Amino acid sequence: MLRNFRIDKFHAEIIPKSTLLKVLTFIDRQGIQTPFLLMDTERIRENISIIGKSIKNSTVFYALKANPDPAIADFVNKEDVGFEIASEGELAMLSSLGVEPSRIISSNPVKPIRFLQKAAEYGVRYFAFDSLEELDKIARYAPGSNVYVRLSVPNEGSEWPLSRKFGLEIDDAVELLSRAEGKGIHPVGVTFHVGSQCQNPYNWNIAIDKAKLLWDKAESKGIRLTLLNIGGGYPINYTKVVTDIDTIERNIANLIGDRFPEDTAIHLEPGRAVIGDAGILVSSVIGKARRQDEDWLYIDVGVFNGLMESLGGIRYTYIVEAGEGSEKWWTIAGPSCDSFDVIDRYATLPDPDIGALILILSSGAYTVSYASEFNGFSIPKTILI
Ligand SMILES: *Cc1c(COP(=O)(O)O)cnc(C)c1O
């Protein structure tokens, strides 16, 4: 007998029925202690099989920061996917799994010196940059490396924009690429990031057009580029069904096919799309309150121990256990004493009992990787199912 969750058709549009069924079966037992994160490995495998499929000459590097759980990294590694990393910690994890350096790249345009040294020592050869200072660092601490320049591109339509912190305009990018060779490093390509959870497919059009302008300008200065790294940004279903990856990739493949030489190597760095919709946080209702005109629901996962992205505008779909009453609007808050710890202001849910379980769909990416034990609330353990 499965627990009595209030499930409707919509939930099976957001995530696969098979994932939901696996989760319901797992939690249908006595004495489970929340919170924890269940990850459906079948779904991860399926995501991996789709990503990059429609783009010729493409290699996929999973952005490890999305969820660096060792068991997940191990699983992804065994599926023959590479990794995009930015820190000594991430490098150490991959090294402990025996990941070959040829399957690791680093696309953060500003890297700590010690990380550069360690990565170069390990054999990593692909590094992004977007400043003269970084070029000098790479030349000194990772000599002989291949470098690709990060272009600034519009991030409108992405739930989690990344544009202002990184990226150059075309002329500056070409200028820096032309300086690389003299420093003993190889200028091989260009990268961009359209923003995470990008729901505007035209962001890729604009970005790829801009990369093409740079490509040609570089060529006119005698720099023959060979690598186009299109970053991450593929969206997943949170509260609505988004454009599927295959559709996005066919568009990208057409654009690239029209503009770039046939032998151009394409690097992809998906994070969210690899593991996001494979994860379901299992949480419990710990309190309820009615204040002024608001109904508050308190649960044992909040902004600090897993749902940080809710601060930036990511909203989730929830499934609650039992609850007799009709649906109403809830403000959902985490367990800590901090007033920032509010996850959702407009969630429609049935009225659950204290102690009821609440499932948070599509919560496999950028949740536990951000989490802290602020206020003594534990970080959800990750369990592969
Ligand atoms: C975070 C990050 C990614 C992954 O982005 P998603 O939106 O999760 O796909 C890829 N590349 C770089 C450089 C990143 O910083």
Q: Is the peptide bond before 35 cis (omega within 30 degrees of 0)?
A: yes
CA of 62 to the centre of ligand 1 (A): 8
Chain position carrying tokens 């390990």? 122
For the residues 358-385, what does the mean pLDDT come to?
96
Confidence of residue 46 (pLDDT cuts 50, 70, 90): very high
pLDDT at 1 over 60: no
The 10s digit of each residue's pLDDT in 177-219 is 999 989 999 999 999 999 999 999 899 999 999 999 999 999 9
Q: What is the best residue among 60, 81, 83, 84 to mutate for testing ligand 1's pocket, by most ligand atoms within 8 Å of CB?
A: 84
pLDDT mean across residues, the chain: 95
Q: Which atom of ligand 1 is nearest to the CA of 365?
A: 8
For the residues 283-296, what does the mean pLDDT come to?
95
For the residues 251-264, what does the mean pLDDT come to?
98
pTM (predicted TM-score): 0.96
CA of 159 to the centre of ligand 1 (A): 13
More confident residue, 333 or 162: 333
Question: By alpha-carbon position, which residue is closest to atom 10 of ligand 1?
Answer: 232
Q: Which atom of ligand 1 is nearest to the CA of 108?
A: 13
For the residues 320-330, what does the mean pLDDT come to?
84
Distance CA 206, CA 252 (A): 11
Q: Which atom of ligand 1 is nearest to the CA of 273?
A: 9
More confident residue, 7 or 110: 110
- Predicted pLDDT of residue 2: 61
The alpha-helical segments, DSSP class H, found in 51-131 are 70-78, 88-96, 113-122
Q: Which residues of 323-359 are buried (b: 16+ CB within 10 A; e: fewer)?
A: beeeeeebbbbbbbeeeebbbbeebebbbbeeebbbb
Question: By alpha-carbon position, which residue is closest to atom 15 of ligand 1?
Answer: 108
- Predicted pLDDT of residue 161: 65
Q: Annotated active-site positions, please? A: 337
pLDDT at 163 over 70: no
Vertex 366, ends 51 and 189: CA angle to 5°?
Answer: 50
Q: Which atom of ligand 1 is nearest to the CA of 65?
A: 1
What residues does ligand 1 touch, defined as CB less than 6 Å away? 63, 65-66, 84, 107-108, 193, 196, 231-234, 269-273
Q: What is the best residue among 126, 196, 272, 370 to mutate for testing ligand 1's pocket, by most ligand atoms within 8 Å of CB?
A: 196
Lowest-confidence pick of 115-119, 162-166, 226-230, 361-365: 162-166
For the residues 4-31, what does the mean pLDDT come to?
90
Q: What is the best residue among 62, 64, 190, 193 to mutate for testing ligand 1's pocket, by most ligand atoms within 8 Å of CB?
A: 193
Residue 99 burial (C-beta neighbours within 10 Å; 0-12, 13-18, 19+): buried
The 10s digit of each residue's pLDDT in 64-89 is 999 999 999 999 999 999 999 999 99
CA of 58 to the centre of ligand 1 (A): 16
CA of 355 to the centre of ligand 1 (A): 36
pLDDT at 346 over 70: yes
DSSP letter, residue 165: T
pLDDT at 133 over 90: yes
CA of 233 to the centre of ligand 1 (A): 6
Share in percent of the chain as helix, strand, coil (round to 5): 35, 25, 40
The 10s digit of each residue's pLDDT in 143-161 is 999 999 999 998 876 776 6
- Predicted pLDDT of residue 7: 87
CA of 366 to the centre of ligand 1 (A): 11
Instruction: Please say whether the dihedral angle defined by the alpha carbons of residues 47, 48, 54 and 55, taken in this order, is positive or negative.
Output: positive
pLDDT at 247 over 60: yes
